Amino acid sequence: MHANKSAIPLDSIIFGYGPMVPLVAAALGAWTLPQPWPTHATGLAIIWGGLILTFVAGVRRGYGFGNAEASKLREITIMIVYFVPAGLALVCGAIGSWLVALALLSIGFALVIVLDHDGAAKHDVPKHFARLRPPQMAIAVAALLALIGRMLVHL
């Protein structure tokens, strides 16, 4: 019996959903803990989100290097589409524009949902990304939106 190429491998489940835990914890902490914890949680979420989105950009580009079927032009373009909001979010976070940083990360992770799902059909990413990325990145987007909501409520 051959393995189902579209099944989500266990390591992708662990390493796919595991990195979303700090974002969820930050959102929960921001809403439930007293100051200064919401401030710390939000700042750390921006750093973590920027790191994860940058990593996802590298995964996308790295897969393009190793897969002859992948479109190099699409892979480079999409890597930049992920990398730029991640980098800008880190810069915005460093200068105190946290709402902008969280919005950029939310947009970046939402783009991963769409572009990696599409990329699986075009052989630009592993086939299981079509099933992994939507719920995985939806967790990130939801956590980031919760942080945005917390900031807006407590302006």
**pLDDT tens digits, one per residue of 82-95:** 999 999 999 999 99
How far is it, in rounded angstroms, from Cα 88 to Cα 115?
A: 20
Output the six-digit token pair for 31. 């809403």
Global confidence as pTM: 0.92
Provide the pLDDT for residue 6: 64
How far is it, in rounded angstroms, from Cα 5 to Cα 8?
A: 8
